[in-house]
Structure 1
């Protein structure tokens, strides 16, 4: 990645100065709160959509009766995954989705095939994802085969934590490793004082 296109991490770093204050007066903590609120809204909306989809499958007669046992078997299998294993499987799924989001702005042509490829990889590799798996969780809850506590502790919370670890922490470190050498140079280009200039100013102020 060239210095002329430093990517979102570098753009974020340029936005905030060393005191953690954005150009518009927004602190990093305020940014994190806003981002967390956005993530929560998106997650809730997706889970609600998953429950609507599961209820439609269960009672809307949108699938032939011959397919319902297969769907039920898939849901049983995925909900039987132990919580620790579900957490571990969710980490690479989080990395894949974060990589997808990273790649979409630079993708050439329709994004449909790129999205299809990454979501297919999650399914074929047996990874767990909080949104895709919530349809199966909702199906088990709606049909009375799973309790709410078991759904939360056995699937929802562990998989959500794994997706966050993979998609937020690990991928952030990978992205930072890619662009961190470009950020100091970009800061100087944007008018931020270099270390030498900062030291010179301190000596000048001490002399007076």
Structure 2
């Protein structure tokens, strides 16, 4: 939020503005925004809640203020919104751009135009010709006259708002401007009372149980999973790839530690003791929130099962992460195979892991992968059911220890083991892919998705989103199969929920 000495709106709202809400509403909120601005995207969801709550008492106005030096896609996205406005669908494009802020390339904009039913040829011509640049420049000029130098910047009934850029503070400022005492009282009441008994994260997911503070219900665990899943879907391909690459390298530490300790322990139980170090990489990945196929990519299945996110989006996330994971694991395996990091004893143990994997039959690998996928999905569920770091750590260590101890296989750690064996010249890459990676990955997916469906979905089918109508979130079957759209199942924050005592008279 910019802070200027100018405190009033220089250019009043006119017919040329893009507005939501009645023209005679007692309250007017003007936003100068940027479609490529992360803060604007965060406030987009808060503004939706505020508009829903105030209804006909608020007129919302959006004006363009693309920060082209900081946000390379801002201007073209603004032009796309204006091209949609020329066909009567500004707000449809406005919402779509914020819901897919990580994908604002030229081809993405044309795809969105088709999704909201625009004449795509006209849309493309107007973008290429820069037809709407003048309109955007006028918005920018009006913002500059009002002292706007950053986004988002808001004006409430013509007066600049310089408070915190967050839902509660903005709603309270609007309520104060409109003398909506009931809303002001409800905000203060929740700040004082409800937040002392229940905490929620920024996304709205519960941080404490409602019935029992230190224990979550199945519905509350599901809400936490939903928040995590939505975060995964919102990540750009670049961020997913880099995080996945880091996770693949972290898996190498599991392989290194397990091999070295197994070789160093001169006991019959050396293998069992070595397995205690199998969770090392998983601790780094889960606690550090890296992207590892199965651990961090199973939670989005919850949104696909409820038809809120599309299969295409899920496959995009899975594809980027698994490629990055395998590259990271391959790099680590190559370094270990090509250098003297391993002692001769540890190298022999490491080779034995890969040799054992190749000696295991295709269907045996598949079903071992199924059970490993079950364990991983159970770990994901329990991680979201726990509140303390120590508890999460113990869950990861105990459950991941079960995978090698019961001779099961995880596709990424197993890939590191077999690739090490391949880089030593013992097998081919094609054999490693077809005879190991394919069956284990399929098994992990089947086992993990089944448990996700069993635990995360069926237990919570009646009360998945307590503050939203699920029917409003669901995609059509066509969108579910191949679109990039998402229902954005945000759990409404405490301050935006109505208290049980509130009625329509509050407003």
1:174–1:112: structure 2 CA closer, same or farther, 3 Å change rule? closer
> Which residue matches 1:137?
418
Output the CA distance in 2 between the equivalents of 1:10 and 1:181: 16
| Other structure's SS at 1:108 match | coil
Equivalent of residue 176 in structure 1, options 457, 469, 475: 457
Report what 2:375 is aligned to: 96
What is residue 352 of structure 2 aligned with on the other side?
73
1:83 to 362, 376, 398: 362
Supply the distance in 2 between the matched residues of 1:132 and 1:191 (Cα, whole angstroms). 41
1:158 equivalent in structure 2: 439
Deviation readout 1:44-68 (Å, 9 max, x if unpaired): 1111111112112112211112221
CA pair 178-70 structure 1, distance change in 2 beyond 3 A: same
Q: Check whether the contact 1:130–1:160 (CA below 8 A) recurs between aligned residues.
A: yes
CA contact (8 A) 1:10 1:180 kept: no
Runs of 5+ unmatched residues, structure 2: 1-215, 231-305, 472-507
The aligned residue for residue 24 of structure 1 is: none
Which secondary structure state, in structure 2, belongs to the residue aligned with residue 39 of structure 1? helix
Alignment of 1:12-31 (within 5 A): 28=307, 31=310
- Give 2:427's aligned residue: 146
Structure 1 unaligned segments of length 5 or more: list them. 16-26, 194-208
Partner residue of 2:136? Answer: none
Residue 339 of structure 2 corresponds to residue 60 of structure 1:
yes
Partner of 2:127: none
> CA deviation digits over 1:106-165, x for unaligned, max 9?
323223332222211111111111011001111122112112222122101111110110
Q: Distance in 2 between matches of 1:39 and 1:191?
A: 28
Paired residues, what number? 177
Distance 1:38 1:66, change over 3 A: same
TM-score by length of 2: 0.32
The 8 Å contact of residues 6 and 179 in structure 1, kept in 2 or not, is answered as no
When residues 192 and 124 of structure 1 are mapped into structure 2, their CA distance, relative to the original with a 3 A threshold, is: closer
- Cα separation, partners in 2 of 1:2 and 1:109, compared to 1, 3 Å: closer
Residues in 2 aligned to 1:168 and 1:179: alpha-carbon distance in whole angstroms: 16
Instruction: Give, in angstroms, the shift of residue 192 of structure 1.
Output: 6.9
For 1:151-207, what per-residue CA distance to the aligned partner results, in whole angstroms no more than 9, with x for missing partners? 122101111110110011343133323222435xx67x64579xxxxxxxxxxxxxx
Distance 2:363 2:394 in 1: 32
**RMSD of aligned residue pairs (Cα, Å):** 2.9
Quick check: 2:419–2:429 contact (8 Å CA) kept in 1? Answer: no
Contact (CA 8 Å) 1:90, 1:128: kept in 2 or not? yes
Kindly indicate which of the two structures has a greater share of residues assigned to helix.
1
Distance of 1:4 and 1:83 partners within structure 2: 38
Q: Which has the higher contact order (CA 8 A, sep 6+)?
A: 1
Q: Is the 8 A contact 2:329 2:415 kept in 1?
A: yes
- Structure 1 window deviating more from structure 2 (42-51 vs 111-120): it is 111-120
Instruction: Extract structure 1 runs of 4+ deviating beyond 6 A.
Output: none
Tell me, in whole angstroms, the C-alpha distance in 2 between the residues paired with 1:96 and 1:105. Answer: 14
Q: Name the residue aligned to 1:204.
A: none
